[in-house]
Amino acid sequence: MSKTMKQLTMEFGVTRQAIMRKMDDKFRSKYVSKVHSNGVSKLTISDDGYKLLKQHFLSSNRVVSNESASYSNYVTHDSVTDTAMELLEKQLVEKDKQIEKLQQSLGEAHKLLSQQQQLNLSTNRQNEKLLDTTTNNTPSQEDSPLQNDHTDVSEPTEGNYKGEETKTPKKGLFGWLRR
């Protein structure tokens, strides 16, 4: 009884390409035939060809399914896994050290930035004091120290204070049509 390629792939547990690689021209001429049915052509392998392929694929599968070989694979797998875990743990410790260093340098940068901002603020205040003393050169201001040192907060004066704003109530999107 001849078998189709699909039946062979299911029985041997291999792909169609693996079976085709094992069939050379001599094997094909002796054991393979094409059968046309319903407009589809299928390759069928004779019983003798089936026996040869079965012998080849089952012998190669037997080597893989040997229990001692699979046990050694598990041992190797465990040792590889342990080695990989140790390597990953070392990398993790190294990354933690790098993160710690980066956090320290970031903290130092924040401190330096804060100091720089405070220095700029005090420099600006001194500049404004000097500017006030040079522009308003009256003896009363030079003799008495400044009582109100709120140079960074602008208080409303006539020049920079708007006063109360009078707003017209909004009448919606098409309020301009109602006028």
Mean predicted confidence (pLDDT) in 91-113: 95
Look up the pTM and report it.
0.34
pLDDT of residue 56: 84
Residue 169 resides in a domain: no
Cβ–Cβ under 8 Å, residues 53 and 24: no
Q: Is 179 helix (H, G, I), strand (E, B) or coil?
A: coil
Token code pair at residue 83: 């080695």
Residue 145 resides in a domain: no
**For 16-61, how does the pLDDT look when each residue is reduced to its tens digit (9 = 90+)?**
898 888 888 888 889 988 888 888 888 888 988 888 888 888 776 5
pLDDT of residue 63: 47
Mean confidence (pLDDT) of the chain = 78
Token code pair at residue 66: 């040997």
Mean predicted confidence (pLDDT) in 108-121: 94
Mean predicted confidence (pLDDT) in 77-81: 73
Q: At what angle do helices 47-64 and 5-12 cross, to 10 degrees?
A: 20
Mean predicted confidence (pLDDT) in 11-19: 88
Q: DSSP labels for 32-68? A: EEEEEETTEEEEEE-HHHHHHHHHHHHHHHHHHT-HH
Confidence band for 146, pLDDT divided at 50, 70 and 90 = low
Please give the C-alpha separations between residue 31 and each of 10, 54, 146, in angstroms, as whole numbers: 19, 13, 112
pLDDT of residue 90: 93
Residue 59 resides in a domain: yes
Residue 21 resides in a domain: yes
pLDDT of residue 60: 63
Mean predicted confidence (pLDDT) in 150-156: 58
Of 60-64, 104-108, 121-125, 160-164, the range with the lowest mean pLDDT is: 60-64
Residue 115 resides in a domain: no
Residue 77 resides in a domain: no
CA gap 65, 58 in Å, rounded: 10
How many domains is the chain partitioned into structurally?
1
Range of the domain at 39: 3-65
Q: DSSP labels for 88-157? A: HHHHHHHHHHHHHHHHHHHHHHHHHHHHHHHHHHHHHHHHHHHHHHHHS--HHHHHSPPS---TTSPPP-
Confidence band for 2, pLDDT divided at 50, 70 and 90 = confident
